[in-house]
């Protein structure tokens, strides 16, 4: 099922807003790093540009309230089938992460991307973010794979649906589009 965005200004008559792809992938990465609830209300970012043991970098790594990692791979425009293979590769690495790895990733993330923030342990940040008294004892009992893009090509969409429905792979897509209205910019999500 293809997702198509449209947005209109209605306060001064009906006027379609201009669709504009996000200029750079890093801009969306900045937005999601600043406030991941734009993508999902129940995630917390714990890593950005996370190096894997395969020499690749995960755009954003989040954690959910159950202590399970969420891998987010961002693409600026239409996403092709290759992205699914890339995401599966990341999943093969993430599945073996233990608590100490997640703690290390979070510490490196804070140090590099948010030195202005008061340093918190992963446990403290988790408890604050999810309003709980303790982090789950067992982290990473499952993980999610998420493509973040403005659209998926039909081939990628078929593969994602096949993996999710037929094999129960926790893989999904979130779609973002940018719109312009004179000097204003808007971000829409589906």
The DSSP code for 63 is E
The CATH number covering residue 35 comes to 3.40.1350.10
* 2 occurs within a structural domain: no
Q: Is residue 39 part of a domain?
A: yes
Per-residue pLDDT of 85-102, as tens digits, reads 999 999 999 999 999 999
The answer to whether residue 3 sits within a structural domain is no
Q: What is the CA radius of gyration of the chain?
A: 18
Residue 146: strand pairing partners: 72, 172
Query: 176: domain range?
Result: 8-189
Give domain status of residue 62, yes or no.
yes
Full-model pTM: 0.89
Q: State the Cα–Cα distance between residues 17 and 84, nearest whole angstrom.
A: 31
Distance CA 65, CA 74 (A): 22
The predicted structure's pLDDT at residue 186: 75
Residue 33 has pLDDT above 70, yes or no: yes
pLDDT range class, residue 141, cuts 50, 70, 90: very high
**Over pLDDT 90: what percentage of the chain?**
64
Question: CB-side exposure of 139: number of CA atoms within 13 Å?
Answer: 21
What is the end-to-end Cα distance of the chain in Å, rounded?
12
Contact residues for 88 (Cβ-Cβ < 8 A; gap 6+): 145, 171
Asked if residue 176 is part of any domain, the answer here is: yes
User: In this predicted structure, what is the pLDDT of residue 3?
Assistant: 61
pLDDT at res. 23? 61
Task: Let me know if residue 1 belongs to a domain.
Answer: no
Neighbours of 103 (CB within 10 A): 15
Counted domains in the chain: 1
């Amino acid at each position: 099922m293809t997702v198509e965005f449209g947005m209109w200004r209605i306060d001064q008559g009906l006027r379609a807003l201009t669709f504009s792809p996000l200029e750079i992938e890093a801009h969306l990465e900045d937005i999601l790093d600043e406030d991941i609830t734009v993508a999902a209300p129940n995630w917390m970012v714990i890593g950005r540009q996370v190096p894997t043991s395969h020499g690749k970098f995960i755009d954003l790594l989040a954690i959910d309230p159950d202590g399970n990692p969420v891998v987010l791979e961002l693409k600026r425009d239409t996403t092709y089938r290759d992205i699914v293979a890339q995401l599966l590769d990341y999943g093969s690495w993430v599945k073996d992460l233990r608590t100490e790895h997640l703690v290390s990733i979070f510490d490196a993330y804070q140090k590099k991307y948010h030195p202005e923030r008061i340093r918190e342990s992963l446990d403290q940040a988790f408890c604050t973010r999810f309003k709980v008294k303790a982090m789950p004892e067992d982290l990473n009992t499952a993980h999610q794979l998420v493509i973040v893009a403005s659209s998926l090509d039909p081939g990628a969409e078929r593969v994602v649906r096949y993996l999710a429905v037929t094999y129960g792979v926790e893989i999904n897509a979130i779609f973002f589009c940018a719109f312009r209205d004179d000097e204003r910019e808007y971000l829409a999500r589906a």
